Structure 1
């Protein structure tokens, strides 16, 4: 594994840890700054595209304020470095809690693409795009059977 790939995967893990910990300060450190050439962007599953650092960070603040519990297990991580840009794709296996006071949990999968840019502060997130993976009833039943074992 190259030094760049290791650094990108470390920042990527910090991104997901910031979500799990509802750490907006850490999230703010991870995102790149907008430039004259363009703005950072983010597509949350089911949302329209957000453009601009302020709008993206506002969306994370909203998500963090309204999420009681979330955990990510990343699989199928692939990282490609192209000079000062890097693309990391992965499957986000997500476990979330129900509303405050409920003891229910929900699981889901999202395929994510994260684009990182090399900056004076190291690798920073330039674009995050998450697309939900729709599961068939058979897959849901298989996962439920595995959890019951």
Structure 2
């Protein structure tokens, strides 16, 4: 099992969470909530209003998200879903545990896979930075589901 930190549309209550609980795509077990140890810019970009964590450590905010334990099948699905390695790159990042589910709770810092991007248009650096993503947030940038894209 691998640990994955999700900060965007794959979180509970967000438009793509359905994939995290679809066992046909593999297993993903919610472990808890966390945030990046280092600051990163989290932007909403492109014509489909997709959340991207730009791989610029030290800039932006400590990004909040959820920690999952996933099997190889789910990790492979997530790589495909996230357009890895072209759109996003899966890298290990240090995540501070904020809240842990169940027994044997983890504390402190964990290494988790995170889908961030180093391949983005330069103008994205000038977009507003968020510390947490919600598809229906005050930003007013509604996420466009894949099945609704042209």
Q: Same fold (TM over 0.5)?
A: no
Which of the pair is proportionally richer in helix? 1
Which of the pair is proportionally richer in strand? 1
The TM-score with structure 1 as length reference comes to: 0.28
The TM-score with structure 2 as length reference comes to: 0.28
Bigger relative contact order, structure 1 or 2, given CA contacts below 8 A and separation 6+? 2
